[in-house]
Chain A
Amino acid sequence: AQSVSQHNHHVILSEAASLELGCNYSYGGTVNLFWYVQYPGQHLQLLLKYFSGDPLVKGIKGFEAEFIKSKFSFNLRKPSVQWSDTAEYFCAVNAPGGYNKLIFGAGTRLAVHP
């Protein structure tokens, strides 16, 4: 069965610091990978997605993620965070042919202090 691990449950950063959130998945076949963000009191929004091609994916709001197949990883990065990035971040995976159901990681709560 597929599973997703997010190693950092809580991250606290100061504004302008760089961010990297870890995500590893367990599934031997081809996967689609996603990062979603949930701002306080809001719904989940897609930050970026990887289906195939260039393993470095750029998303909205300056976020990017790198798919490393050999490490089963899809880490999220942002060079300089802002207070408005305070949110919970979820990594998710689905397998083609799996009817698009998403398997989510436990989430990482990011707090950015001014």
Chain B
Amino acid sequence: DSGVTQTPKHLITATGQRVTLRCSPRSGDLSVYWYQQSLDQGLQFLIQYYNGEERAKGNILERFSAQQFPDLHSELNLSSLELGDSALYFCASSGRQESSYNEQFFGPGTRLTVL
């Protein structure tokens, strides 16, 4: 157990819908990262937050957005869902200081299926 929790574990929805994925980082971690794992794209970095502020963006679609709340949990919002958005979405968290030397701890992931 990494200490990072994600809910829900599984999500099945229809095209055009909107969903929210939730992540709680390890106690004391200030950074949260979102990654998408799909068969065709592999593991891709989506976005990073540090202490409530967006820090870096990767290959995140405009239909996707995220935020980190004052209690440091984070939500990833996916809207106007398409079949191709079906994937495993991982959240990771890392240390109290903003540093590229911090190990990232990964949550169990949310498996999203868009029908």
Contact = CB atoms under 8 A, between A and B. Distances in A.
A99 B48 contact: yes
A99 B101 contact: no
A45 B35 CA distance: 14
B94 interface: yes
Nearest to B105: A46
Interface stretch (A11-19, A72-80, A100-108): A100-108
Interface stretch (B14-22, B66-74, B106-114): B106-114
Query: Which residue, A43, A45, A98, A104, has most C-beta atoms of chain B within 10 A?
Result: A43
B43 A107 contact: yes
Contacts, number: 63
A43 B91 CA distance: 10
Contacts of B104: 46, 100, 102
Q: What size tier do the contact residues of chain A reach?
A: 20 to 34
Interface string B28-42: 000101010000001
Interface SS of chain A: helix, strand, loop or mixed?
loop
B55 interface: yes
Q: What size tier do the contact residues of chain B reach?
A: 20 to 34
B65 interface: no
B100 A96 contact: yes
B90 A95 contact: no
Interface string A77-102: 00000000000001000111111111
A94 B2 CA distance: 21
Contact of A98 (B35, B92, B100): B100
A51 B101 contact: yes
B90 A32 contact: no
Given A100-B100, A101-B48, A45 B42 contact: no
B103 A49 contact: yes
Given A44-B90, A94-B100, A99 B55 contact: yes
10 contacts: A44-B92, A45-B2, A90-B43, A100-B33, A100-B98, A100-B99, A100-B104, A104-B44, A106-B42, A107-B43
